[in-house]
Amino acid sequence: MTVMEKGKPAGQYRRNPQDATTKRCPECEVVKPLDDFYRNKSSADGRGGYCRPCQLAYMRTPKRAKHAADYQRERHADPALKRRHVDKQREAHLRRRYGLAVEDYDAMVEAQGGVCLLCKHPQKDGRRLAVDHCHDSGRVRGLLCNACNVLLHKIETRAVSIEAVAVYLKDPA
């Protein structure tokens, strides 16, 4: 049984506060430089509790590997679980990025007739329409197909005028 499994009190392995360059690994019981420990922002010294080799050995134990494999298998095998996960990600993305609820997005799609505001064509490949927004104010302008969204982004960021594009298309030489 390892120290990690035994659950020994943390205070037993506290390092010397005067020595900020080394730390003792409770698993192998060797004093090592701090660079031999993974970074951990939540710990007081900014380093993990176990040295890299001991931490890797623990992460590779058969019990942990079996649990991780079972979790992945279950997650991919159950279509309802996968769909729920995708839906939650979509909902969080719309709310965080644009301040929209899924119901607001769906209402916009219905109001636009399911087509792009610029080209009036539905999105290809069964993908959802992209949310077009002003990068300065964050205001949502509408829903666009991917091609129109990319075109609009390039026009906005590269300061290319629509007139210059029209002149080029008429006479590229």
- Divide the 173 residues of the chain into consecutive groups of 10 and give the mean pLDDT of each group: 46 54 92 93 89 89 73 74 85 92 94 92 87 87 91 80 83 74
Q: Model-level pTM?
A: 0.53
CA-to-CA distance for 23 and 15, rounded, in angstroms? 6
CA separation, residue 25 to residues 31, 42, 45, 53, 149 (Å): 6, 17, 13, 10, 53
